[in-house]
């Protein structure tokens, strides 16, 4: 027999033939277990991500089976590796092309802070150009760390209220990056 | 053809250019000469077209910055004679305020990107270059990062500030 684990149902009211809960929770569960990541891999962290996607670590166990190499269909932008300043407008363009709701994960020291590349040609963390939801430390992080970051993204997705993206706070955040 | 000995090479250059080209040294057997920007193109053309020398391959153009020297910026040409397997290095030093030198794209088309790179990192203006703009760094960069007066580190870096380390 296969040992398939299903996601627990959210808290709600249950009775004979019906189950009632809030839409936020259902949508959160659905989204978090079918995230489509866009891997933006530029260096060694990208190699770790390849291991994360491969059979041993198998990121698809968490519902991220389908990588999207088109930003239009992606939910999660995973930035893995050093982003040179010349690459920054490209990264920003990819982020702008993603549809809401969208999440961003900075994997590794370079994407998070510039890492060892404290130099004129390297972007000192992708949060200089786009907002970031989860940072994964490490140089490069092990696949376990990337999975841990992914689970943290899932938690954010699950607990996000449906109106978050319309709130002034979120609009302010985007405006800070000159988006919209 | 056998490799041209450095003495013979130097003698041939001296026949044509006399005192305008001076010998700097021969580190690791690589003959290094210095000249001025007035005759650099003549010298390159001579080395390329002379029947005995035939330095037809321009290996690299680069620059160097010595802030302590009166002539701070040095432009360096590496040539290679593929028929005799001989190499030569030519240096031209310029004062900081007047970093102009004629382009070598008239001699080698391949000098185009090398000169753009040298401009990008050292701010050397190659007069007559067809398209002298930055090649590797972002277009809106104002610094010439390989010059010593520009800091290597990015000023936006926050996690290396002293107060994080109790300094």
Domains delineated in chain A: 37-176 (3.40.50.12280)
Which of A54, A98, A91, A58 lies closest to A75 in space, CA to CA? A98
Ramachandran sector of residue A125 (left: φ over 0; alpha: ψ -120 to 50; beta: rest): left
| Structural domains of chain B, ranges and CATH numbers in brackets | 6-152 (3.30.460.80)
Confidence band of B120 (pLDDT split at 50, 70, 90): very high
Question: A85–B159: do the CB atoms touch at under 8 Å?
Answer: no
Using CB atoms, pick whichever of A86, A121, A124 lies closest to residue B156.
A124
Give how far B162 is from chain A: nearest CA, Å: 15
Average pLDDT over residues A147-171: 92
Give B145's contacts (C-beta < 8 A, 6+ positions apart): A120, A121, B121, B137, B152
Sign of CA dihedral A16, A18, A24, A25: positive
For residue A27, pLDDT over 90 is answered with yes
Chain B residues with beta carbon closer than 8 angstroms to that of A124: 154, 156-158
Question: B145–A121: do the CB atoms touch at under 8 Å?
Answer: yes
For residue B118, pLDDT over 70 is answered with yes
Confidence band of B160 (pLDDT split at 50, 70, 90): confident
Which tokens in the block code for residue B66?
Answer: 């010595």
Q: Is B160 on the interface with A (CB under 8 A)?
A: yes
**Binding-site positions of A for [4Fe-4S] cluster:** 44-45, 110, 139
**How far from the centroid of its chain's Cα atoms is residue A123's Cα?**
20
- A18: number of Cβ within 10 Å: 8
pLDDT at B162: 82
Q: Distance (Å, rounded) from C-alpha A112 to C-alpha A5?
A: 34
Question: B138–A119: do the CB atoms touch at under 8 Å?
Answer: no
Of the residues A90, A124, A137, the best mutation for testing chain B's interface (the one with the most B CB atoms within 10 Å of its CB) is: A124
User: Number of Cβ pairs closer than 8 Å across A and B?
Assistant: 36
Question: B154–A86: do the CB atoms touch at under 8 Å?
Answer: no
Which tokens in the block code for residue A91?
Answer: 């990264």
pLDDT at B161: 80
Question: A120–B143: do the CB atoms touch at under 8 Å?
Answer: yes
Chain A residues with beta carbon closer than 8 angstroms to that of B120: none
Average pLDDT over residues B7-12: 92
Question: B138–A122: do the CB atoms touch at under 8 Å?
Answer: no
Q: Distance (Å, rounded) from C-alpha A70 to C-alpha A68?
A: 5
Confidence band of B148 (pLDDT split at 50, 70, 90): very high
**What percentage of residues in chain A have a pLDDT greater than 90?**
83
Question: A120–B154: do the CB atoms touch at under 8 Å?
Answer: yes
pLDDT at A1: 66
Distances (CA, A) of A57 to A48, A52, A64, A84, A142: 10, 5, 12, 29, 10
Give how far A92 is from chain B: nearest CA, Å: 15
Largest CA-CA distance found in chain A, in angstroms, rounded: 65
Average pLDDT over residues A62-77: 92
Distances (CA, A) of A22 to A12, A29, A155, A156: 8, 11, 17, 17
Using CB atoms, pick whichever of B141, B151, B156 lies closest to residue A128.
B156
Q: Distance (Å, rounded) from C-alpha A51 to C-alpha A46?
A: 9
**Binding-site positions of A:** 44-45, 110, 139
Q: Is A18 on the interface with B (CB under 8 A)?
A: no
For residue B165, pLDDT over 90 is answered with no
């Amino acid at each position: 027999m296969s040992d398939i684990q299903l996601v627990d149902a959210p808290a709600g009211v249950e009775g004979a033939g019906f189950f009632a809960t809030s839409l936020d929770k259902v949508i959160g569960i659905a989204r978090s277990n079918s995230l489509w990541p866009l891997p933006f891999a530029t260096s060694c962290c990208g190699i770790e991500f390849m291991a994360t996607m491969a059979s041993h670590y198998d990121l698809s166990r968490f519902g991220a089976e389908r990588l999207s190499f088109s930003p239009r269909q992606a939910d999660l932008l995973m930035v893995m590796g050093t982003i040179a300043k010349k690459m920054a407008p490209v990264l920003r363009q990819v982020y702008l092309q993603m549809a809401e709701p969208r999440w961003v994960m900075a994997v590794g020291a370079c994407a998070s802070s510039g890492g060892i590349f404290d130099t004129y040609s390297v972007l000192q963390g992708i949060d200089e150009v786009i907002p970031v939801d989860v940072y994964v430390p490490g140089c490069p992080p092990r696949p376990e760390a990337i999975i841990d970051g992914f689970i943290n993204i899932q938690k954010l997705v699950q607990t996000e209220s449906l109106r978050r993206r319309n709130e002034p706070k979120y609009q302010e955040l985007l405006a800070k990056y000159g988006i919209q | 053809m056998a490799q041209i000995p450095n003495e013979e090479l130097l003698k041939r250059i001296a026949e044509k250019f006399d005192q305008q080209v001076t010998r700097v040294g021969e580190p690791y057997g690589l003959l290094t000469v210095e000249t001025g920007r007035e005759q650099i193109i003549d010298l390159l053309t001579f080395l390329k077209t002379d029947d005995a020398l035939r330095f037809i391959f321009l290996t690299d153009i680069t620059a160097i910055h010595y802030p302590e020297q009166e002539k701070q910026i040095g432009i360096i040409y590496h040539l290679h004679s593929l028929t005799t397997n001989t190499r030569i290095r030519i240096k031209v030093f310029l004062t900081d305020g007047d970093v102009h030198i004629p382009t070598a794209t008239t001699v080698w088309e391949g000098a185009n990107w090398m000169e753009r790179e040298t401009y990008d990192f050292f701010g050397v203006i190659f007069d007559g270059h067809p398209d002298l703009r930055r090649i590797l760094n972002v277009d809106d960069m104002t610094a010439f990062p390989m010059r010593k007066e520009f800091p290597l580190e990015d000023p936006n870096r926050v996690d290396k500030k002293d107060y994080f380390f109790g300094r």
